[in-house]
């Protein structure tokens, strides 16, 4: 098969997606492989891309019946730009903690997606930003103003660049790990160590495409390096309140790392934390936990502290946000339970 440059050809084509098949990938037709990963694409659209020679594996065009195997790099170009590039300004209120000519710091509520994609093409932070601010600079992924991101159901602080120079300066700090990001999390189980560091490469889980996982040993090449520092703030019997400081910013990093060491985030449905993972068999305890789930219908994770060097003044700036009411109420319920319960670990 002759290698072709995927950038040649129709200028109206857009590279929507790029995937690397992980070690656990069993041979699978490339059209079916892509249908498993691309939520907003139809089978007809993918098959047409294959027929037109616009699906590439390891840089070479393939037909729709090509069998994807572990380690393959799969890219697909389609005739229309991805939905996430079709940005529509929306008049959505923003909780702005700080603003100047170079940047702003916003406090994102839980439930708001940061940028369009994967079925969320409106109501995102980006939709709000481009309504309230003109000419925000694009990052390397063509997302206006965005220096970093947090998950939909994680609340907390984000810094947004308003100029090209601010985007470059701030992005370098995140890349070189000189910025500070501290999160508060409630996790299942009694974390025995007062503090520690989790190092483990993170990549997509081949058995569940919606999850990421830690790859170790010979499999480490399938993930990207990730480092999380944690410290116990309060032991509450069957759960523990911790702070986490990130050196890297991988997708779901805290959620994946804490699950990896046996302490899944409380009510993190994607990683199994929405089930009772620690505790007693008493029905009153089950009812108590169910009430906590209702109070906090999301993973217990909040981006509390954000600090960085200002791109113009070079001043070190640190911002803190209050733990939101839903998470604070849940924590208080566990504090009261731990204080009054005789069923402690």
DSSP three-state, residue 200: coil
142 within domain boundaries: yes
158 within domain boundaries: yes
Using the 3D structure, point to which of 77, 94, 117 is the last residue of a domain: 77
Q: What is the pLDDT of residues 71-105, one digit of tens each?
A: 898 888 766 555 545 688 999 999 999 999 999 99
108 plus 163 within the same structural domain: yes
Which residues form the domain of 99? 86-175
Number of domains the chain is built from: 3
Percent of the chain with pLDDT over 90: 65
151 is catalytic: yes
Whole-model pTM: value is 0.78
Question: Which domain CATH number covers 170?
Answer: 3.30.2350.10
2 within domain boundaries: no
Q: What is the pLDDT of residues 234-288, one digit of tens each?
A: 999 999 999 999 999 999 999 999 999 999 999 999 999 999 999 998 999 999 9
By C-alpha distance, which of 96, 113, 249, 84 is closest to 160? 96
Using the 3D structure, point to which of 77, 98, 132 is the last residue of a domain: 77
CA angle 329, 287, 333 (to 5 degrees): 20
CA 112 to chain centre: 12
* Residue of 151, 153, 268, 326 with catalytic role: 151
């Amino acid at each position: 098969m002759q290698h072709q440059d995927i950038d040649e050809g129709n200028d109206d084509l857009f590279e929507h997606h790029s995937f690397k098949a992980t070690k656990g990938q069993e041979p699978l037709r490339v059209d079916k492989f892509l249908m498993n990963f691309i939520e907003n694409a139809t089978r007809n659209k993918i098959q047409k891309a294959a027929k037109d020679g616009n699906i590439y594996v390891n840089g070479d065009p393939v037909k729709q019946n090509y069998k994807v195997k572990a380690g393959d790099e799969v890219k697909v170009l389609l005739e229309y730009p991805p939905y996430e590039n079709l940005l529509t300004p929306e008049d959505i209120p923003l909780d702005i903690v700080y603003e100047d000519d170079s940047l702003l710091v916003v406090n994102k509520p839980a439930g708001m997606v940061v940028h369009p994609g994967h079925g969320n093409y409106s109501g995102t932070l980006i939709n709000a930003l481009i309504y309230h601010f003109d000419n925000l600079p694009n990052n390397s992924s063509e997302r206006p103003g965005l220096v970093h991101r947090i998950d939909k159901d994680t609340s907390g602080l984000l810094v947004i660049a308003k100029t090209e120079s601010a985007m470059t300066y701030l992005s370098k700090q995140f890349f070189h790990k000189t910025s500070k990001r501290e999160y508060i999390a409630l996790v299942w189980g009694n974390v025995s160590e007062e503090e520690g560091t989790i190092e483990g490469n993170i990549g997509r889980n081949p058995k569940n495409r919606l999850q990421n996982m830690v790859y170790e040993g010979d499999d480490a090449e399938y993930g990207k390096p990730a480092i999380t520092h944690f410290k116990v703030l309060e032991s509450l019997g069957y759960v523990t309140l911790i702070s986490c400081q990130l050196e890297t910013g991988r997708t779901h990093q805290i959620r994946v790392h804490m699950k990896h060491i046996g302490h899944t985030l409380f009510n993190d449905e994607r990683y199994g934390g929405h089930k009772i993972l620690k505790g007693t068999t008493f029905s009153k305890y089950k009812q108590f936990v169910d009430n906590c789930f209702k109070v906090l219908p999301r993973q217990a994770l909040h981006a509390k502290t954000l600090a960085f060097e200002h791109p113009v003044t070079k001043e070190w700036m640190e911002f803190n946000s209050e733990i939101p009411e839903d998470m604070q109420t849940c924590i208080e319920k566990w504090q009261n339970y731990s204080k009054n319960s005789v069923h402690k670990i």
